[in-house]
């Protein structure tokens, strides 16, 4: 049989809402709750548009915007373009890196170009990056 319940507990009642302890969790909870609210003020807007507006507002309140996501990607692409120098790479060095580091030959060629076609520098960088 079931155990008797305390007097202050009612069957089927929802547990009380717990307020998050730190500011970051409160901010995230507020953003999530804003997604739940309906945009009844603008009844003419379609549901998808209202949801999109709520999502954008929630993302802004969390401090995440699309521009900040694009900037690191653009910087990484520019850096990659800069590191791809056109230089002659010795085929023996490519074969050595491909064999010893267990990577493809195109990857070995790119790594050698990034390290001034110096196999010793590349292997040193490979080992230190792995640690």
Among 1-5, 18-22, 78-82, 106-110, the range scoring the smallest mean pLDDT is 78-82
**pLDDT, tens digit (0-9, with 9 covering 90-100), for 5-32:** 777 777 766 666 667 788 888 888 877 7
Cβ-contact 84, 113 below 8 angstroms: yes
Is the distance from CB of 119 to CB of 89 less than 8 angstroms? no
What does DSSP assign to residue 63? T
* Max mean pLDDT range (1-5, 51-55, 65-69, 105-109): 105-109
Q: What is the tens place of the pLDDT at every residue in 36-60?
A: 665 555 555 556 666 777 778 877 8
Q: Where are the alpha helices (DSSP H) in the chain?
A: 23-36, 47-62, 66-83, 91-100, 105-114, 119-130
CA-based nearest residue to 94, from 127, 119, 120: 119
């Amino acid at each position: 049989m079931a155990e008797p319940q305390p007097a202050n507990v009612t069957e089927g009642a929802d547990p009380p809402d717990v307020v998050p302890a730190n500011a970051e969790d409160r901010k995230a909870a507020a953003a999530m709750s804003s997604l739940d609210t309906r945009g009844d003020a603008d009844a003419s807007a379609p549901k998808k548009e209202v949801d999109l507006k709520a999502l954008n507002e929630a993302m802004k309140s969390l401090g995440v915007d699309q521009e900040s996501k694009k900037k690191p990607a653009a910087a990484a692409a520019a850096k990659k373009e800069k590191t791809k120098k056109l230089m002659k790479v010795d085929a023996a060095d490519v074969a050595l890196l491909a064999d010893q580091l267990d990577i493809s030959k195109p990857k070995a060629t790119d790594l050698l170009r990034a390290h001034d076609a110096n196999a010793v520098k590349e292997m040193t960088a490979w080992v230190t990056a792995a640690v």
